[in-house]
Structure 1
């Protein structure tokens, strides 16, 4: 509220009389005020309701009028009420601009009514004009106070809502299958309860990634930050599959990360999250990537059974483990590349920058050390799984 200019006792008496006369007309002023607001926007009636709005407008206008003639040292009841009303309007969901409009309209109506009552009395009119700055400063202060309270309450409500939604999402990601939780999460996150979903888990939370940067046609992301990872729930359109998701992730995220298979509803997110984490565990530390579980099944099998994996490594690759680390690495790399090249020694040699006979010699040495033949399917399966287990073992 602006500084009040010094006035004589008669000036204050005239101003108090004008305000007292205006209070006698309060029901008439409130009728006009509420009627104009409801004509301006139907949201007032839809959000607040006419009777409740009338009572609250009466209280606000009465306190505002009493403030005009109150002594300078009086408590600012108008600002206390404005703060309360700002919080209330935010809780009710009335748009902020409509609340501010109501304050401005009330200020104009009160001022016009004061001018109309003082127009026949020059002395009273002069006192009123002297008070113009004070009156409009009071209206501004009330509107500003109500707006600040509105914004603070809106932020708090949004924070509470976000926390509730995150809690619901966490419950689903932890394996909750409650239909009620799924329904509330679906409503709050604007996601279908039954639909095609995948879960992405990134090992290191990447704070620079947002759903806006990763949005694409047919894909919608909802991210959940955790201490050591970032979990993304991906809603897939009917015609969008994991190929599109993997392509998008590989182009935007350096990894490591895991992508689950598609599941068919929010209650399946817990299983999808566990499968995405399993896919993530198949990423070697030295070759981070975004991997799909359906493309890493052998690796997923071995990392899901650490005790059996350790036994498999020792049984199949035991003799290799006694070699010099550099020598062992060359042999295992050759096997890995040969498998990746679908058993073609020529293509493997090209990638390893060596002669194809060198590839054959290394593979024969592997067969001798493991007592297994790469031409026998069962032996090849064991060696492939043992290679995955060795590469993915924590040690």
Structure 2
């Protein structure tokens, strides 16, 4: 092995390197001040974010523990414990990781220069031995840098998890609050980066689960999606772009297996609780055999009946009692004709779909008006007939 090759730690090594390290540790405060000056000059973010007195104490401790381990690392490895503590603390303070690592590089440069100076002054004939021990010394401080970086990354990951959990909790609170106060709105806006007056839709996945291999999507049809944990399932808040609600429904179909309630578009963060209730209403109003996305806009009548069952039953009794008392074949024909006519809005088209003559449709509709006492040319009566019909179908 050449003159600068790595040697094993032995008694001679410990004497030479240990003597120099002990001499250097006697001047730890002065050395720490010099190192701190270099760090704050080369690491501007750290100089801005870390109080100088705190950074000085950290540097002094690191040097003290590190110099003590240069001759022979002890079992406690206090220098590594201090490095991990420093890494976590700098992550919390927002110091960039490259500056944290750079501070250790500056440290090893300064320590090495001082060790060389001391050995050259006191035992120049042993300088070759120090040179051949250089790898031990440099590797020791690099190990501290690695430990600090690892602790830094772990602390950052914890911060992200904490921030994500806090954001979910804030969003969950907003989704449950009918009249949210401004501080809650501000917190959700700032934490999640959502526009206070933006356009949103809410999807409730209470009875659904993600398709195999799928993850909760962060975007759907180009719209950002933020998820919150509900009581019985996850809730998605979709920041809409334009009139993309239909495309969002398609994206939900692709990502989620099972029924999902989808609200209409609402405006502003203050309306999210309202949108959540509408999504749950849509979900509650689905047909028993219905799967996939249930958009409230497409099931308003059924959702209304489910949301107000007593009023729906009242309409059924007031309007449909006499119709239901007719012979089964007649009542079925009248109700089916009414349902088809309401759907297509045309007598001719209803006749085509029902495979009968247009006059047959007209006769059935007149008969329905006679039995119910309602007029199909009166908008108010049409609404009541539609609700009463949905109430019959929902029983």
Match of 2:87 in 1: 86
**In structure 2, distance between residues paired with 1:331 and 1:228:** 41
Give the TM-score taking structure 1 as reference length. Answer: 0.80
Give the TM-score taking structure 2 as reference length. Answer: 0.80
Q: 1:381 to 1:211 in 2, by over 3 A?
A: same
Match of 1:213 in 2: 219
Q: 1:367 to 1:137 in 2, by over 3 A?
A: same
- 2:341 paired with 1:338: yes
Q: 1:359 to 1:381 in 2, by over 3 A?
A: farther
**In structure 2, distance between residues paired with 1:298 and 1:380:** 12
Asked if 2 retains the 8 angstrom alpha-carbon contact of 1:261 and 1:292, the reply is no
Match of 1:114 in 2: 115
Match of 1:179 in 2: 182
Q: Deviations over 1:339-395 (max 9, x none)?
A: 1211x233234445x24459728945982996456635355333310232344x4x6
Match of 1:76 in 2: 77
- Residue 224 of structure 1 aligns to a residue in which SS? strand
Q: Deviations over 1:310-344 (max 9, x none)?
A: 343355445549987x99887655533321211x2
Match of 1:188 in 2: 191
Match of 1:67 in 2: 69
Work out which of the residue numbers 300, 307, 310 in structure 1 matches 2:310. Answer: 307
**In structure 1, distance between residues paired with 2:312 and 2:54:** 70
**Pairwise mapping of residues 144-155 of structure 1 onto structure 2 (< 5 A)?**
144-155=146-157
Match of 2:389 in 1: 387
Q: Deviations over 1:270-297 (max 9, x none)?
A: 2332233224434434445656656655
- 2:234 paired with 1:257: no
Q: Which runs of 5+ in 2 are unaligned?
A: 1-5, 254-258
**In structure 2, distance between residues paired with 1:22 and 1:136:** 16
Asked if 1 retains the 8 angstrom alpha-carbon contact of 2:168 and 2:229, the reply is no
Q: CA deviation at 1:25?
A: 4.4
Q: Which runs of 5+ in 1 are unaligned?
A: none
Q: CA deviation at 1:196?
A: 3.1
Q: 1:274 to 1:14 in 2, by over 3 A?
A: same
Q: 1:115 to 1:250 in 2, by over 3 A?
A: same
Asked if 2 retains the 8 angstrom alpha-carbon contact of 1:214 and 1:221, the reply is yes
Match of 1:143 in 2: 145
Q: 1:359 to 1:284 in 2, by over 3 A?
A: farther
Q: CA deviation at 1:152?
A: 2.3
**In structure 2, distance between residues paired with 1:123 and 1:321:** 117
Asked if 2 retains the 8 angstrom alpha-carbon contact of 1:320 and 1:369, the reply is no
Asked if 2 retains the 8 angstrom alpha-carbon contact of 1:79 and 1:145, the reply is yes
